[in-house]
Structure 1
């Protein structure tokens, strides 16, 4: 655990320093777009924070190559090279879009290319699907297609909520912290000889990258991560979730081994990644359906995302961001607690997780639909026009 903590601190420190450097250089050389009608900020703000986050992540991988505790993740270096190469492609295209607004078709093509590199060259794929009676192995072609589709969906889901200061960085920090705890425990429970694994390492590095970037991105933001940062986070989060599927052991689905909650245990590797990214996925799905029904491209920007609706309801920018944080924490921690309970085979502890989720969801619903201004008896302010994040 100390080595993972070192990876978090190292990535956070490097990302913070690099973010400050990118911010200063962007201001000096005016590397920022002009103010658009849909933007919240009143002064031009650099959008190249994704570069700093990417360099922090790369530095963490480089250091891990010289750390004997992480030698297991370098057993197949092609996986690491594929991950870093795919991430590099996404960051380059994202930076180009942040500066010059690329056509959505180009960006989508780059996303499929990056996902294909991870699935095909990195051999990080969804090979199996857990069933209540065991594990179903997928045909190779279907495995690649499902993996590419999953990565592209998560990338766009994360990118779609990038509309408020500190929103994506904070949500991804919480989501990856919860997923790190789960992946660490899952590998331990699977009886692996080492607790060090690729899924946990990626999650830890992303926690560090988000923590290091958040100080400059918190409202009022000095630096935005842009498409480069948001797409990178989505890519690596999806890759981390896919990497954990390779540690499934069919014996874990035996109720005598796993515990009473066999069905929950079987589907936890799928449920938890979905839970921690539930809000981005809901926003992405509703946006695609909404735009297709209107006869538009599913990637055409609009002002009807979840965070836009919350501002229209009367929430301030910071209130909306904190509510997103709460929803992410409630969804992820509820399933994490239930997973821990299944391993302990303690029914009472299982219901603690259920009760936490029910109470947390109820509280979040009250806060979400009762903006602070209304609770205080103040009239709603005119809704602000937050920054829109196209694909």
Structure 2
């Protein structure tokens, strides 16, 4: 499934690039921009085709096809639910990448896509508690919480989509961690009930790997909101489907609580960085009297550039942080450790992230006092996408793709 999704995505990206250039889905170089090459968006169209191809193959496989038709998840129509919800989110992103769209309209598109999942009964059924119990959700709470999870995931991914290859790589690592945990839990429970989640994450991994060769710095194409919102949707769906297929009673008896609550913790673990970035962006913008939807260049990846890291090194640092955190959380869960270890891992990971920039701060290469590093003065490398000045951050500019919540 992953190979098919990767192959279709990879092969279609050049065609999508030509299409994007012909319809003008590539911003003109403006006086305030720092990139020198017009880079088309809409790479998410190829990723959507890869998703459809992966789902088609999955539905034809004997074992996984039967699981995708399990009436407990998506009323047995999980493939159709993903195809339709993905179609709505891709259409929303396509129109935004091509013409531009108001943030509230994009939010409406995200809610509509999440609503389609709910309509097909792809919802959170219960929420695990640290004390070993669960909170069962009625139909109203299922709808509200599922839509909230999907919308937050979509926007968290969109926020981190600020440098070449960053979003695709981080989501790929997140999907790998979820896939590994799914396989480990299935083996522990001796039941093949998590194949829906495994299938979704495998397809998501393939989509990201197929797109990365075209998107890694210097990028030939951006995924745009079309792709960022799509992979955010799939990442959220992989979490939602777990609670519809795992037998919690068996899981609670056979393994410790940490793996049981991991469906909730793992997405938070791999998305702590973009989620924290989202919260800090809102606080930062409102503190300067600006709209929380206003784009700026104060995101974490931009800060790493400003203190002296190159474009590729910044992306690799973000990859390393995500991989370290996700792999540690999954490894600890499989090993069966107390739940208290999780917040300690969070603290350790944040310290490691801060230490990555410490040598440059000591040398005086970053910060306002030194006037910024060479990377900060010259801005993002060519191919990073259009930018917008922001008086709240010296030398600031917007990320290549305005996140769904930032306009």
Counterpart for residue 202 of structure 1: 200
Task: Give the one of 68, 74, 83 matched to 1:73.
Answer: 68
In the alignment, what sits opposite 2:105? 106
SS at match of 2:88: helix
Q: What SS class does the counterpart of residue 136 from structure 1 fall into?
A: strand
Cα distance in structure 2, aligned partners of 1:197 and 1:8: 14
What CA RMSD, in Å, does the superposition of the two structures yield over aligned residues? 2.8
Q: Distance in 2 between matches of 1:235 and 1:299?
A: 21
**More helix, by proportion:** 1
Deviation at 1:374, TM superposition (A): 4.9
Instruction: Check 1:18–1:375 CA distance in 2 against 1; reply closer, same or farther (3 A cut).
Output: farther
For residues 186-225 of structure 1, the C-alpha deviation after alignment (integer angstroms, 9 at most, x for no partner) is 2333332x26611111111111000000001011100000
Out of 365, 368, 373, the residue aligned to residue 354 of structure 2 is 365
Alignment-derived partner of residue 4 in structure 1: none
Q: Distance in 2 between matches of 1:61 and 1:38?
A: 43
Match of 1:170 in 2: 169
Q: CA deviation at 1:90?
A: 0.8
Provide the residue aligned with 1:11 in structure 2.
Answer: 5
Deviation sequence 1:65-115 (CA, Å, 0-9, x none) = 222132221234433212211111111110111111111111011111111
8 Å Cα contact 2:50-2:207 kept in structure 1: yes
Instruction: Give the distance between the partners of 2:260 and 2:291, measured in 1 at CA.
Output: 37
Deviations, residues 134-168 of structure 1 (Å, cap 9, x unaligned): 22212221121011011101100100111111111
**Number of aligned positions between the proteins:** 372
Report the Cα offset of residue 296 of structure 1. 4.0
Instruction: Report how far residue 27 of structure 1 moved.
Output: 3.8
- Residues of 2 paired with 1:198 and 1:213: CA distance? 23
1:277 aligns to what SS in structure 2? helix
Mind listing any 5+ residue stretches in structure 2 that lack a counterpart? 386-398
1:305 matched to which residue of 2?
299
Which secondary structure state, in structure 1, belongs to the residue aligned with residue 199 of structure 2? helix
Which residue of the other structure, out of 240, 243, 247, is the alignment partner of 1:242?
A: 240
Residue 41 of structure 1: how far off its partner (Å): 2.5
Q: Cα gap change, 1:169/1:43 in structure 2, threshold over 3 Å: closer, same or farther?
A: same
In structure 2, the partner of 1:3 is: none
Q: Using a 3 Å threshold, how does the CA distance of structure 1 residues 219 and 195 change in structure 2: closer, same or farther? A: same
For structure 1, the residue ranges without an aligned partner over 5 or more in a row are 1-6
Q: Which moved more, 1:82-91 or 1:367-376?
A: 367-376
1:94-173 equivalent positions in 2, closer than 5 A = 94-119=93-118, 121-131=119-129, 132-173=131-172
The verdict on how the C-alpha distance between 1:304 and 1:376 changes in structure 2, with shifts beyond 3 A counting, is closer
Larger mean CA deviation between 323-332 and 66-75 belongs to: 66-75
Distance 1:298 1:117, change over 3 A: farther
Counterpart contact for 1:48–1:95, Cα < 8 Å: yes
Q: Secondary structure of 2:128's match?
A: strand
Larger deviation: 213-222 or 37-46?
37-46
Change in Cα spacing, 1:103 to 1:335, as seen in structure 2 (3 Å) is same
Give CA deviations for 1:359-387 in whole Å, capped at 9, x if unaligned.
Answer: 76655432233349959999921511554
Change (3 A) 1:141 1:37: farther
Matched residue, 1:380: 373
Give the Cα–Cα distance (whole angstroms) in 2 for the partners of residues 138 and 177 of structure 1.
Answer: 28
SS state of the match for residue 77, structure 2? helix
